[in-house]
Amino acid sequence: MAEYQTHDYDVLVIGAGGAGLRAAIEASANGARVGVVTKSLLGKAHTVMAEGGIAAALANVDERDNWKVHFADTMRGGQYLNNWRMAELHAKEAPQRVRELEGWGALFDRTKDGRILQRNFGGHRYPRLAHVGDRTGLEMIRTLQDHGIHTGMEVHMECTVLTLLNADGRIAGAFGYERERGRFQLFRAKAVVLATGGIGRAYKITSNSWEYTGDGHALAYAAGASLIDMEFVQFHPTGMVWPPGVRGILVTEGVRGEGGVLKNKEGQRFLFDDIPENYRAQTADNEEEGWRYTQGDKNARRPPELLTRDHVARCIVREVREGRGSPHGGVFLDIAWIKDRVPGGAAHIKKKLPSMYHQFKQLADIDITEEPMEVGPTTHYVMGGVRVDADTQMSDVPGLFAAGECAGGLHGANRLGGNSLSDLLVFGKRAGEHAALFAKGNGISSLNPDQIEATARCALEPFERTGENPYQVQHDLQELMQDLVGIVRREEEMERALGQLEELKQRARKVAVTGNREYNGGWHTALDLQNLLIISEIITRAAIERKESRGAQFRDDYPSKDEEMGRFTIAVRCTDSGEMRVTREPLRAMPAELQQVIAEMK
């Protein structure tokens, strides 16, 4: 085997977003020697983009909130496909994790009496999101990074992991390359935590950064882990739609939480006409009540703009399809109207939503304190991910852990806003702790040189070919997923997508790059493409298998929920012979005491 620069760790964390950093801190606190690998620079992981806040039942703004309400909201939002144990741990532990973050120096917005301020968000019964204006992710990353660096971890920045290494029936490390110099790097580790984020770059219109190419999902799949719930891709209802160059960039739900309303071109608040039965009792039936809710009136019910994302996104699509959309194919989101109600309205909007104000001013030349925004759905988040044990976060592969967006289970068919940042903290901590424990009980495995050599050879092949540009294949893949496996799905279109994915795989095998290995964007794209193709096929096959509409999956050919399908999760894994196997797996029965909680919160 060739000589590679080699690093030995007890715990290797792949990803330096909220989940990865929190896992690294905990593994280190448990005595493990920890390495962190990140595709981007430290501080630049996708978590930094998070805007609206962290969901935790602190009950600072509404004393009626507690873990039970948060648990019930999360399960209802996920249409009861969630791993109930994860939802329980998440609801119970999120407040502790937020206070801990505060203890480490995070400066949250404050209530008048000095406690952490919480805001309204879709699907949360009470104001629950701890936030820092609309820049919560930045504060979270800054705090975790500062704290983590002092607790001890070695960081490998701008290094992309290409494969996980297995030996003796468990994980043995990872192999990747430095993006800057193109040199290969070998990591030997007793335990590995995947914290690589999402898959948004499989779609044309997305709020996700360039990093989101589903690497962790694909690495885990190739290593023998199962992925679950992959049909559930969240299309956030409010992304920018104009100008074309910024299409997909997120407009935080915080705008609606602060009183922003959605209207069609006729000026009608169309969401009032379509309130799902299971939310009717909790939803305002007139505009005045909705407004009072956003201003903290405890006797008011939420406006329909704060229903779950899957529902709001579908209503927007309907308005556009039926000819009631805005000029550029979206609808209007208006926060400027609150100036009639709030003293010093324009300054208030700028204070509550500083990033949104600047985003629209700079990118679209729109002053959101004066005019409505044009918004439409954008690919935002993947509920599906690596199947993990709820308490330990270990996958089906011994020694391989996953946390954050690349792990599945917590959110079921639809994630509530704010439940990702809390997910990162709660399950990042658990993954780090259990990875460290696993490392204590297991030595470093011997590596399989053939696996490493084959990965290195394969990675360099694009330099040796004359063929197609990888960007073109990536572009065609994104168009295909957007058109055929997007918000509204049909069997016949998804079958067509599978055929076209096969063709794209053939083309991807022939892509060529020029130049050398140093900072070669074409080469990076050629390598990312492999993961995007696997993930796209997994999403498509899982979506075909779920013959119903539920949460984020809307099937035009099966427009209703199917009670029988509600008992299964769809799992996808790679067989020993390399086939993609899709299976329906029964959900575990929920204990009576948690069923009771849900019944009480209806």
Ligand X SMILES: Cc1cc2nc3c(=O)[nH]c(=O)nc-3n(C[C@H](O)[C@H](O)[C@H](O)COP(=O)(O)OP(=O)(O)OC[C@H]3O[C@@H](n4cnc5c(N)ncnc54)[C@H](O)[C@@H]3O)c2cc1C
Distance CA 544, CA 563 (A): 17
- Considering only 10, 11, 13, 17, the residue that binds ligand X (CB under 6 A) is 17
Contact region for ligand X (CB under 6 A) — 9-17, 309-317, 353-361, 479-487?
9-17
- Asked if residue 40 binds ligand X (CB under 6 A), the reply is yes
- Considering only 11, 12, 13, 19, the residue that binds ligand X (CB under 6 A) is 19
Q: How far is the CB of 585 from ligand X (least distance, A)?
A: 24
Contact region for ligand X (CB under 6 A) — 48-56, 303-311, 456-464, 569-577?
48-56
Q: For helices 521-545 and 491-509, what crossing angle results, to 10°?
A: 150
328 among known catalytic residues: no
Which residues ranging from 525 to 544 are in contact with ligand X (CB under 6 A)?
Answer: none
- Considering only 27, 34, 49, 336, the residue that binds ligand X (CB under 6 A) is 49
Count the Cβ atoms, other than its own, within 10 Å of residue 415. Answer: 29
Q: How far is the CB of 220 from ligand X (least distance, A)?
A: 11
Contact region for ligand X (CB under 6 A) — 59-67, 332-340, 417-425, 449-457?
417-425
- Asked if residue 208 binds ligand X (CB under 6 A), the reply is yes
Contact region for ligand X (CB under 6 A) — 32-40, 112-120, 350-358, 542-550?
32-40
Selecting among 7, 76, 147, 236, the annotated active-site residue is 236
Which residues ranging from 247 to 306 are in contact with ligand X (CB under 6 A)?
Answer: 250
Q: Which two tokens stand for residue 531?
A: 């993961």
Q: How far is the CB of 495 from ligand X (least distance, A)?
A: 30
Q: Which residues of 441-454 are buried (b: 16+ CB within 10 A; e: fewer)?
A: ebeebebeeebbee
- Considering only 7, 33, 46, 489, the residue that binds ligand X (CB under 6 A) is 46
Distance CA 384, CA 218 (A): 12
Selecting among 247, 256, 415, 489, the annotated active-site residue is 256
Q: How far is the CB of 107 from ligand X (least distance, A)?
A: 16
- Asked if residue 38 binds ligand X (CB under 6 A), the reply is yes
- The phi, psi pair for 237, rounded to 5°, reads -65, -25
Q: Which two tokens stand for residue 117?
A: 């301020």
- Asked if residue 308 binds ligand X (CB under 6 A), the reply is no
Element (H, E) at 4: none
Which residues ranging from 237 to 256 are in contact with ligand X (CB under 6 A)?
Answer: 250
- Asked if residue 50 binds ligand X (CB under 6 A), the reply is yes
- Considering only 11, 24, 37, 117, the residue that binds ligand X (CB under 6 A) is 37
# residues contacting ligand X (CB under 6 A): 43
Distance CA 570, CA 465 (A): 38
- Asked if residue 52 binds ligand X (CB under 6 A), the reply is yes
DSSP annotation of 251:
-
3-class secondary structure per residue, 148-160: HHHHCCEEECCEE
Q: Which of 141, 102, 138, 142 is nearest to 118 (CA)?
A: 102
- Considering only 16, 373, 494, 572, the residue that binds ligand X (CB under 6 A) is 16
3-class secondary structure per residue, 165-206: EEECCEEEEEEEEECCCCCEEEEEEEEEEECCCCCHHHCCCE
Q: How far is the CB of 547 from ligand X (least distance, A)?
A: 28
Q: How far is the CB of 559 from ligand X (least distance, A)?
A: 28
Residue placing its CB nearer to ligand X in the complex, 363 or 582:
363
Q: Which of 263, 208, 214 is nearest to 236 (CA)?
A: 208
Residue placing its CB nearer to ligand X in the complex, 275 or 364:
364
Q: How far is the CB of 534 from ligand X (least distance, A)?
A: 13
Q: How far is the CB of 316 from ligand X (least distance, A)?
A: 18
- Considering only 74, 145, 160, 326, the residue that binds ligand X (CB under 6 A) is 160
Q: How far is the CB of 280 from ligand X (least distance, A)?
A: 26
Residue placing its CB nearer to ligand X in the complex, 118 or 160:
160
- Asked if residue 230 binds ligand X (CB under 6 A), the reply is no
Omega within 30 of 0 (cis) for the link into 243: yes
- Asked if residue 395 binds ligand X (CB under 6 A), the reply is no
Question: Bridge partners of 250?
Answer: 239
List, in order, residues 6 or more apart from 477 with CB less than 8 Å away.
202, 501, 504, 529, 532, 533, 536
The alpha carbon of residue 464 and the mean position of all alpha carbons in its chain are separated, in whole angstroms, by 36
Q: Which of 159, 30, 35, 23 is nearest to 444 (CA)?
A: 35
List, in order, residues 6 or more apart from 398 with CB less than 8 Å away.
169, 170, 171, 438
147 among known catalytic residues: no
Residues 318, 247: contact at Cβ < 8 Å?
no
Residues 376, 324: contact at Cβ < 8 Å?
no
Residue placing its CB nearer to ligand X in the complex, 15 or 275:
15
Residues 408, 420: contact at Cβ < 8 Å?
no
Q: Pattern 163-202, binding to ligand X, x per CB under 6 A?
A: -------------x------------------xxx-----
Judged by the rule CB under 6 A, the positions of this chain that interact with ligand X are: 14-20, 37-40, 45-47, 49-53, 136-137, 160-161, 176, 195-197, 207-208, 211, 215-216, 250, 380-381, 404-405, 417-421, 424
Active site residues: 236, 256
